[in-house]
Structure 1
Amino acid sequence: MTRLTLALALALALPCAAQAQTTADAAKADGKAFGRDIGAAAQSAATTQPSADRVPGFNGTPSQSGYFDDPKSMERAAASQVSSNTGYQTMRDSMDRRARFDKVDLDATIARSKTISQDPLSYTSGMGVSGTQGRCVPLPPTSGTAARYKATCNTGYTVESGTQSCAVTLQASVTTVTDYLYYCSRLDPDCTAFQLPTCRRTGSHPGKCLQGVDTPGGFKCFEPGDPVDEYTCSAPVAGETPIRVSTRQSVSTAKDESQCANLAADSNCTNPVETCTDSDPTTRIIDGVAVTQPCWAWRRDYQCNRFSPAQDCDTLASTPGCTLEQEYCITDEVPCRTFERVYDCPVPDQPQDPNQFICDGDVYCIDGSCETIQRQANDEFKDAVVALNAMDQARREFDPDSLTLFKGTRESCSSKVFGILNCCKGKGFPLIPGIQLLVALGCSREEMLLHQKDVQGLCAYVGTYCSSSFLGVCLTKRKVYCCFESKLSRILQEQGRLQLNKPWGKPKTEQCLGFTIDEFSRLDLSKMDFSEVYAEFTDAARLPDELQAATQIQQKIEDYYANARN
C-alpha cells in the first residue's frame, strides 16, 4: 500500500471511530432509561393480585375455547365465511382480474433474448480488461409491429351527367275540305240536329222581318224575326238541306317526335330544351298552298345521367394480411348504389432502428482492480407495465363531471368517392408531402392533424356516411374517428366495447363517450390484446447515448484518481 493510500485510510478511519464512540454512549443511555421504565411496570404487575377483569375482552369462557377439543372445526368455520369475508373476496377478485398472457405472446416478446442466448459470444466476445470501449454488435431484428388499421374502399356505381339530343321536325299537309252551311232559327227545337262533332256554329244573323216599311232611306224593320244561327259542317246532316256547299284548302301541321321517343321514355333523361334549327324561309309552298310557320325544325336537348359500375377495392383485396370485415350501404336510397367495404389490415413493418446495439466495453480498471459496469435490460413484465399504465391513464382521464373514463374526441375527414384526392388515407398510408398543397386542393388542416393522430395509433375508426349524393350515388363521404389521449386508451375503448357488447353508434351521431365506472369495472383486461403497445414497454436495447454517458462516468472516475495520485 502506498503512503498516499495509507494516509487516506487513516484520515477516513479516525472520524468514523469518533463517531462510532459517540453513538454507542447515546445508545447505552437510551437502554438504561428504557430498562427503568419497564422495571417499574413489571414491579407493579408482580405486586397486583391477578384478576380476569383485567384481561381485555375476557368475559368468562370465550367461544373460541371449543377449538381446543376439535381443531378441525376452526378450518370448517373459516371455509364457511369465505363467501362473505371482504378481505378474502378482495384478494380473490384481485387474482381473477390479474392479466394473463398466452405463451405465443410471451415468446414473441422474448424472441430477441432467445436469439442472443443461442449464440451469446457473437454479441459479447472481445471484452477486455483494459478499460477500452470494445466493439458494438447490432441486436437481432424485432418480430415486427402488431399494429393494425381499418382500411376502406368503395363499390357501386358512378353517375355521369351529359347532354343527349334528338331532332324534331314540323310536318305540314294540305287537304281539300267540303263545308256544308246550314241555317237554323235559334228558337227552333230542330237545331239540336246540328249538335254533332262534325258541325260547328260559325255565326248568326237576324231572322226574316215580320213587319216593316219602305222609307226614302231604305227599308225599316219594326218587328224582326227570330235570330238565325249558322252552322258549318264537314259532312251532310241527315234530314237537313244545306244552304250552301263549298270547298276549301285546309293546312294542318304536327311535330314529328319519333326520333326523341327513346329519350322521352328514359327516366334518367329530364328537362328537355328545344332550339330552332330551321326557320328560313318561314313561308313555304305545300301542295300549291303557301304555308307560313315561325320554325320548321328543332333540336331537343335532354340532360341525361348514366350509371356505370365502379370499384376501387382491388389493391386492398390483394394486400397480404388484409381481411374483409364488412360491407354496408353508405346512402339512404333504395336500391343502394354506393357500398363501403372495410378491411382489417396490418400496418406495414417499419424500418428497424439502426442504433440498437449491445457493446462489450463496460469494464474499467483502477490500480489493477477491475470492475464491470452491470448493464441490465428493461425486464419489467409487460402485463405489469400495461396494468400500471392503464391505472395511470384512468387517473388522468377520469372526468369528475360525467363520472366516465377514456372519453374520446369525435373527428372526421372527407373524400370523393372514386376520386383522386383523399384526405382520409389514415394509418397504413404515407401522408402526401406538402400540407399546404393538400389544403389548397381541398383538405383542411384538421384533416391533416387527424391523419397524424391516426398514424400514431390514437384514433379508432367508427364508420362512414355519405355527405352528398346525386340520384342515389354517393359523391362525397365522411369517415368518422374517435381519437384518444394515448394508444392504450384507444385499445381499451375498442376491445372494451366488444366485451360490453357496446358497439360504436351510427357515424353521423357517435360522440365518443367514455366508460362509466361500472362499465370499466366489468372489463377483463386479461382477455385484451395489448401486443400493439408491448414494443413500447419492452425496449431491451442500450442506445449509444447510454454508452456515451457510461464512458464519461468512467473517465471522471479515472481522472479523479489520477488527480489524487498527484
Structure 2
Amino acid sequence: MRLIQSLRIGLLGLLAVAAPLSAQQQDARADGKAFGESLRGEAQEAAKSQPNAANLPNYDRNAVRNLETLADAPERIESNAAAAATGHQGYRAMRDSVANRARFDPSEIEDVIARSLAINETPLDYTSGMAISGGQGNCVPLPTGSGSAGTYTATCNSGTRIDQSVGQCAVPLVASVTRRQQWHYLCNETSTVYGYPWCSAFDGGSCRITGYRPGPCLQWREDQFYRYCTEPGDPIAEITCDTPDARYTPYAVTTDNSIDTFSDESQCIGFADNGDCTLDNEICTDADPQTRVIDGVSVTRPCWEWQRSYTCTSREAASDCSDIESQGTCRFIGEECLTDEMPCETWERIYECPLPGTDISTQYVCDGDVYCIDGSCETIERTANDEFKDAAVALHAMDEARGQFDPNTLTLFRGTRNTCSSKVFGVLNCCKGKGFPLIPGISLLVALGCSREEVLLHERDAQGLCAYVGTYCSDKFLGVCLTKKKVYCCFESKLSRILQEQGRKQLPKPWDKPKEEQCEGFTLDEFARLDLSRMDFSEVYAEFTDAARLPDELETSILIQQKIEDYYARGGQ
C-alpha cells in the first residue's frame, strides 16, 4: 500500500514539472529576458572602461585620502579628534558643565548631621528622668554639633576665562614619479658647415640647450708618434626637446623621470585656519630610511614626515562662585581686580563665611530646667558669667605678649609671610585652609602639584593660625589672570592672629598690598593703644573651657542651697 502511494506522489510531481507554462507565465519570462538584453551592452561597456571618480556621487578625494592615511596609521585618530574638538561647541559645553557643577564634600555633610544621628540612635538617653512635678533632675550633655564661632574668608573668580589646549598633527611628505620622453638634437650656433641646423631654429618651442660637444677638426697634423688637431671647429650644441620636431631627426630619444613632492597638510588645516592657535614647533618624526623606492625610482629626502604642535586659546565669560553663593550663609564683602588693568578682565569676589566644625561649649538637656504645672511648662534660662572668660583671655594675651616680644625690633606678635597659588577657574587649588576639612597626608597634595610649604599653610590656616591678607595675579596672558597667589600672615597661636586682625582695625593699621606685606608686629605704643574689651575672642573660648568649666551662677546657687540643707539635716533642725 505504501509503495503505491509513493509511486502516485512521484507521478504527480513529474506531471507538474512537465506541464506547459500558462500564457501569463510565458509573457513574464519574455519581458525579463528582453530587459536583461537591454542592459547587457551597458554592463559590458562599464566593465571595460576605467572607473571615473567624477561619476561617483558624494565622492571626495581628499576625504578618501585622509581615511586611507588613518587606516595606515590608526594611532593618529586620537590626535585628529583632539584637534577637531577644540572648536566643537558640544565639546566645550560638556567641559563647562563639568567644571562649573556644584560639589559637596561628604565629610561636611556628615559633620552637619552627626548630632542628629547620635540622638536618633538612643533618644531616651537625652530625655529620660523628666518629671511632671518639676523636681531637680540630671543634666545630660548633647553630642557634639556642627556649629562654631568664627568666620573665614572665601574667595571665587568671575570675568574672562582663557582656555589653553595643546594639539598635534602630522604632515607626511607625498612623492610621485612622472615619466616623460625627451628628444635630443644637435645644432650649430655659428654656421651650417657641419651639416647641422642653426640653434636658433629651435627657439620658441619646448627645447633647451643641455650641453656642448667639440665640432669636427678643421686642420689635422701628424708626426711620427701621433695625430692631433691644430684647428678645432666650433662647438656643437645639444638640444633637448619635450616634443619631437618634425623638421629634424633626433640623434637620441630618452625617458626622463621627474620626481614631485609636496607636504600633505590636510591633518593640520583645523589648527592652521584657527586664528587662536599658534604653532609651537615642528619636528621630524620619520627620517629612516632617507632613500625610498617610489614607482621603481629611488627617491632620497632628509625627512618623510613632520609633527606639528599647536597651542590654542579661547576667551569666554566664566564664574566659579556658585558653590559659595549656594550655601546661603556667606556674606558678600566686595570684589577686587586681580590684574590692575582697565578694563579689568578677571575679578576676585570676597565673602565672609561662618566656620564649620564643632560647638565651642558643651550643651545640655537638663530635667530640672523644665517645670510643668497643669500642662503649662516654663524653662529656666541660665546666664553664664562672661567676666571670667574675658579675664582669662586677657591674662593669656599678656602671657603670650611676653613670649612673642622681639627685642631686636621692639615689636609684639610678629607673623610670618606665607603664600599659596591656585589656577583661576582651574581644578587644582593649593589655597584651601580654614573653612575646609584637612586632607590627610601631605603626599597627596604634593602629588597633585602643591608644594610642601603650601600644604603646611593649608594645615596652619585650618587650625586658625593664619590671617588672610589678599590676593594678587602671578601669571597673566592677554590681560587675563591665569594664576593667582594668596598671601597670609601666620602666627604662633590663634589668640595672636585675632589680636592682629582686630587690633589693626582699631589702630587703624590695614594690611599692606599683598605683594609687599611682611607681617610686621605691633610696636609697644601700638599695643598699648589696643582695647581688648572691644575684641571678639569667641574662637578661643573653647580652648579655656576645655581646661576648666566656667562658673554658672544658677549651678553655684543650687550647690550652696544644697550644702545649707545638708548642714541642717545633720543637726536635726
What TM-score do you get using the length of structure 1 for normalisation? 0.49
Larger radius of gyration: 1
